[in-house]
Amino acid sequence: IGDMPEFDPAMKMAEIAFANLQNASIKHMIIISDGDPTPPATSTIKRLVKQGVKVTTVTVPSHGINSGNSTMQKIANQTGGKYYVVKSAKALPKIYQREVRRVVRSLIYEPDPPVQPAIIQQHEIIQGLEGGIPPISGFVLTSVKENPLVEVILRSSRPPNEKNSTILATWTYGAGKSAVLTTDVGQRWANRWTDWENYDKLFSQLVRWSMRPTGDQGDFSIATNVRDGKAQVIINALDENDQFINEQSMTGTVVAPDMKSLTMPIEQIAPGRYVGEFSAEMAGSYLVVVNPGSGQAAIRTGVNVGYSAEYQDNATNVALLKSLAKMPVKDGPAGQFVETGLDSSKREELLNANPFRRDLKPVISNQPIWPWLVLVGSCLFFADVFVRRVQIDFLWLLPLWAKVWDRVLGRERAVAVPETMSRLRSRKQEIGEQIESRRDKARFVVPPETEESAQAVSPAGPSDPVAKRPESRAPDEKPEIAAEPSYTERLLKAKRQVWDDQQQKKKKDDPRE
């Protein structure tokens, strides 16, 4: 509406708003303009057509009567709407009312050709109807209540919206029942039903199901109990032969003191016993209606909730106290009941009464000791077997104690060397000792007598000043134990032998000798 520069922004906003409408049956838009704005984009028109939006255009005079007629007419033709040209603003309300009447959908739906109702679920009303339901040529469009207690029995295949195509539905709420048949009984839309063999059976079962059950509570007994802000309803179900009735689908409804309706779930907890529970925190009277099942009369009862538990006036059980005081005592008189009150005389009586009696004999109670003996014997037997068969090593406590003691004294403990390193060090020491032993064996040590003989035969002669006297051996030194000569010692010994032989040969050849 208005003299906008272009149609596209406003029509896009309308297209987005229509897209957010999920359950709209009809989408209609009216544009009133002089047709001067820029035409909308083709993509915008396509999206409106895809959503089923019909656009009605109304051209008003601004720059001439024929100004913008082509643009406005094109928008209406592309979307399936109507095109109007007005010369006076007084015609706008009539055009709006006409479009509203055209858009408003009639609640009477008359499909062509007739449609056959489909059975959605089995029910007592359509029990025994064979061959299906005859077609109908019309019915009243309705909306199904979103409630789990609503049962849709018959539904039409047209229109495609299932919420508006219900033919027969029922609703059980508390003690009441209601049924809805959206077609007629054969005058106009369901005229094929009059020749149907199950026509009378269908409507008789419909009326019988909707009627209130006759008779009393039958074999159903009900009891109530109020505790901790909750009311409990207990139903005992028996049949004619006093046998338990099990797997009964029971429902319960409660009307609270503020006249609000509450749903009470009922569950089976034992053979023939059903229990329902609801919140009863509000003081007042609660009306409870239990539907035992199909064909059974409703069970009605009431629950009265007084004040809260903190307002209860709990009187003293004087009779019980007197009976306890009169109980006989062995070898002594019975007890005494002292009645007290707010007056001073009874208060004095209470103060003068002595609740501690000294004239009673001590009571001795004997208890068997064999359970304790069995327990002690079992423990001793277990300890004996444990000591004989299990060996406990407490050496692991020593490192723990040393660690705790070091922590108490505040001293640092040496880092433990890994076992592999200790083995490596010990092996290294053994190898070092072996090498040292081999070196001692391979070292040449000249005995003293060998050195003296070597000096006697020395070429330098006895008067050679270079020759040194052998060092005298300490008297306390012990002779070394002769070991097996090594390769070097044997070689040295051979050289000495050759040297001695050469010296002796020279002495023989010397003429001075």
The per-residue pLDDT for 475 is 45
Q: Alpha carbon 250 to chain centroid distance?
A: 31
The per-residue pLDDT for 375 is 96
The CATH 3.40.50.880 portion of the chain extends over 108-210
d(CA 258, CA 283): 10
Which 3 state secondary structure label does DSSP give 254?
strand
- H/E stretch holding 233: strand 230-237
* Residue-level length of the chain: 513
The per-residue pLDDT for 417 is 58
The per-residue pLDDT for 213 is 62
The per-residue pLDDT for 189 is 92
Cβ neighbours for 39, distance < 8 A, ≥ 6 positions apart: 7, 71, 74, 75
- H/E stretch holding 381: helix 370-389
- Strand ranges in 299-387 using DSSP code E only, listed in sequence order: 299-305
Give per-10-residue mean pLDDT for the chain (513 aa): 77 90 80 86 91 88 61 89 84 81 72 89 86 89 82 87 86 79 90 90 89 63 87 89 84 87 89 91 88 76 79 75 86 79 69 78 85 96 92 82 85 68 82 82 60 48 45 47 67 84 77 57
The per-residue pLDDT for 337 is 84
d(CA 426, CA 416): 16
d(CA 214, CA 316): 48
The CATH 3.40.50.410 portion of the chain extends over 8-103
How many C-beta atoms lie closer than 10 Å to residue 254's C-beta?
A: 22
Q: Which CATH number fits domain 220-311: 2.60.40.10, 2.20.28.160, 3.40.50.300, 2.40.10.120?
A: 2.60.40.10
Architecture of domain 8-103: 3-Layer(aba) Sandwich (3.40)
Helix axes 69-79, 42-51, angle to 10 degrees: 40
The per-residue pLDDT for 470 is 47
Is the CB of residue 167 less than 8 Å from the CB of residue 111? no
Three-class secondary structure assignment of 41-107: CHHHHHHHHHHCEEEEEEECCCCCCCCCHHHHHHHHHHHCCCEEECCCHHHHHHHHHHHHHHHCCCC
**Looking up tokens 């709420």, which residue turns up?**
173
The per-residue pLDDT for 217 is 44
- The pTM is what? 0.36
Architecture of domain 108-210: 3-Layer(aba) Sandwich (3.40)
User: Which residues does residue 152 pair with via DSSP β-bridges, in sequence order?
Assistant: 169
Q: Using the 8-state DSSP alphabet, how is residue 223 labeled?
A: E
